[in-house]
Structure 1
Amino acid sequence: MDMNDPQDVAAAFWAQLLGVTISEDPPPPDSPLGRVRRFAAEHGYDALRDEHFEAARQGRPLLP
């Protein structure tokens, strides 16, 4: 992050308020986002539906 860039400063501020971390590294493969990205790599981003994101958050399998 470039702390001289107002958008990066704002993103860092809101991330701190929300208790999240902004990272440029790929997410861990076993995280919900990592699982969604793996599914999209296998089936394409067009195959993603709202149910896939909910299943990823709940730790359920992502079915095509």
Structure 2
Amino acid sequence: MDKTAMDDPQELGTAFWTQIHGFTVSEEPPGPDSPLARVRAFTAEYPSVKLTEEHVAAAVEGRPLLP
């Protein structure tokens, strides 16, 4: 975020929260090997399968996502 956005309390709070929790807010697509990209690929391939916490955990741990 640029310095001008830090004048907005909402933007400042968001920047602080993401930094504390180790997140990065980006408008770029996630890297292909990231958990988010793996979940997105799974949901694109299996649109009728309900995404569960187990799917997300598997993506984070690097395990295969199974329908």
**How far is 1:49 from its partner?**
1.3
Paired positions, count: 64
**CA RMSD, Structure 1 to Structure 2 (Å):** 2.0
CA–CA distance in 1 between the matches of 2:48 and 2:34? 18
**How far is 1:5 from its partner?**
3.8
Superposition TM-score, scaled by structure 1 size: 0.80
Superposition TM-score, scaled by structure 2 size: 0.77
**Which residue of structure 1 aligns with residue 62 of structure 2?**
59
Segments of 5+ residues of structure 1 without an aligned counterpart are: none
Structure number with larger C-alpha Rg:
2
Find runs of 4+ consecutive structure 1 residues off by over 4 angstroms.
Answer: none
